[in-house]
Amino acid sequence: MKKNKEKQFEIRISASEPTSLDLRGRQSVRATFRLSEACIDAISILSAQLGIKQKSVFDHLMEDDGVLNNMARDLENTKFDRHERIQKTFVVSRRSLSFLDMISRRHNAPRDALVEYSVRRLWPIIANEREKHEKRKALLTEMSTHFAEGENLLSKAAKDLGEDDPIVDKLETIMSVYRNTLGAIADFIEKGKIIEEFEP
């Protein structure tokens, strides 16, 4: 009975194991595209605002084969205007790049155009992130005011109770955590400033 259970367990494990092809598909490779400045900015913005790698943005765009095939059919036999486009190298997964190349060849659609128009599908996400960015800035202003009030309270407590009072010690700990958190939030918002000037 015990052997049967062990055998069933081994079967379940082996069925869930990734194949060598799956693992190679996740391998990172470099790919160079000629894209508009807005498209390149959009990839950077999404990566920064959502806290994900640019590779993940490409993987997301390439995973919907229905949309990509329809897009490629629309772009079939068209010449992609390379004027004012910037050559940029990205890290992408081998699987995403292989799929992109296959769709491009199948429909005779420019690979760069497929990437460009795929990224444009994400404009609504960027618009939503821009609204959130403005709300974050407003929240940061409120938090800064609140932090200043906390610092004043700490100074008052230290004056009234003395620097070595346990309450003052606990307040100092709270304000130290608050200071670090406020700094991290300010840094995040500063990195996201690129979204303020983004024009699709």
Q: CA torsion, points 148, 153, 155, 157, in degrees to nearest 10?
A: -170
pLDDT at 131: 92
Burial (CB count within 10 angstroms: exposed 0-12, middle 13-18, buried 19+), residue 110 = buried
Pick the range with the lowest mean pLDDT from 17-26, 69-78, 147-156, 179-188. Answer: 17-26
Segment 94-122, tens digit of pLDDT: 988 998 999 999 888 889 999 998 898 88
Report whether pLDDT(21) > 60: no
Rounded CA separation 161/155 (Å): 10
Looking at every residue in the chain, the average pLDDT score rounds to: 84
What are the Cα distances from residue 9, in Å, to 20, 65, 81, 106?
21, 35, 56, 42
For the chain, give the percent of residues with pLDDT over 70.
Answer: 83
- pLDDT band for position 68 (50/70/90)? confident
SS3 state at 19: coil
Q: How many CB atoms lie within 10 A of CB 164?
A: 8
More confident residue, 37 or 80: 37
- Tell the residue number behind the tokens 């918002």, with chain if given: 189
- Residues 146-166: pLDDT tens digits? 999 999 999 999 999 999 999
